[in-house]
Structure 1
Amino acid sequence: MTYPMSYKALIIDDEPPARSIIRAYLKKHTAIEVVGECANGFEAMKAIKDKQPHMLFLDIQMPKITGLELLEVIDEPVQVIFSTAYDQYALKAFELNAVDYLLKPFDENRFDAAVEKVLQKIQSGDMSNQPQVEQLKENDSAALERIVVKKGTQLEVIDLDKLLYIEAQEDYVMIYTEAGHYLKSKTMKYFELHLPSDRFLRIHRSYIVNTTKIKGLEPYDKDTYLAILNPDCKLKVSRTGYKKLKEVMDF
């Protein structure tokens, strides 16, 4: 199919041979211009901002941050072709035809089919794939080991040991750490399901707390308490939350 304009692509993979294969396969796709290659999500964050690509060829398993973590913090509309060596990530979200994936090692015919699907989607003017990306992430049952947030144009990785608590903020959450706080477009339900249950507990409809940071409890009003993290940080505990705390802590 002939396309009336050139579309910009960014290749993001920590393995140079994988990036080389994608670049080689793209040579015959004259409607696509490769505007850059990135070896990790931190490089990719800047490149996406600077280059404004129409599409990403994005590895899922990468050091520092994963491809899915990168997608959580970019605001630019972009189409994604995932690549992965593990079919555990080939979940139902990929079958919705909003995004595509390549299971390594993939051949040129499979690559061409993915490229054509994404080009047609871009041509139609539909650049939205976030609901499908969110479904993919929600279906990933793996426990979180870290949280990736954006501060300005920079990425920061929060170690769970540094996490104090998470507060509900309508369609967002505010993540509080020892160093500061960060707004993130995620649900409380997501964090309740994915944070390690041996350290994190939902003590109130508005709060998920790192139980290792709780120094004690004090009465608030009838049948409710405050969890004391430090003299300047006290969180309301619901009756249900209090029962949960008593089960896991010596109160």
Structure 2
Amino acid sequence: MKLRCLIIDDEFLARQRLLKLLEPFKSLSIVGECRNGKDALEKIRIKEPDLIFLDIQMPDIDGFTVYEKLQKKPYVIFTTAYDTYALNAFKINAVDYLLKPFDEDRLTIAIERILEIKKTNKASQLEKNIKKLLQNIEKDSNQFLTQISLPTKGRDFSINIDDVICFKSDGNYVKIITDEKPHLYRTTMNLINDRLDPMQFLRIHRSVIINKFYIEKCKYLSNNEYEFTLKNGIKLTSSRSYKPSIVSYLGTL
């Protein structure tokens, strides 16, 4: 299973350089980048990365404060131009502390360290479920959608299926909701549902399909209907006809 990684740094060039250095590491999957602490707290909550590359000195919230505010703490590799924070970094069990400008060799040492820690640590039940999900996605990559290509001003724009929070019917289109912005895709809900991995997506209404990874909570309302709250705050109500699949999903939690 690839490690889901998030890059947090207020300097654009620093983020771009780290992205370039990480390209050879096929065991990592970059799920996003953040330019400040506030953005980091929100994206970490939604994306739930396994590993964050975290700058320390940022204009709004410093890296240590970001890490302290996290309820579920991912592995952290600090990236900074200052060596004065190293002791504090290792006090909170940081995987590594990279001094800018670090090179590919130094980054490789840090990545190998996190992979070894990940390998030897006993996985939680959630990690096992995610691993099983990703294995199924890779196994059925030819069968299920992994990306959706949208024509945009004469060129194709691709959306990674993992970044889709939910699909909603919108007339002759399907609205694709991501944490960035919604996109319209000319297709039907039935066609899109047939191409989605049922291990990852749950249809709760003829006009709504949810990415299970983004479900925050689910509660029973009445009359065989359920209310789903997603990690971005969206609340969606199911229809009675989809109760069996919903009950089956709840039984796996």
What TM-score, normalized to structure 2?
Answer: 0.46
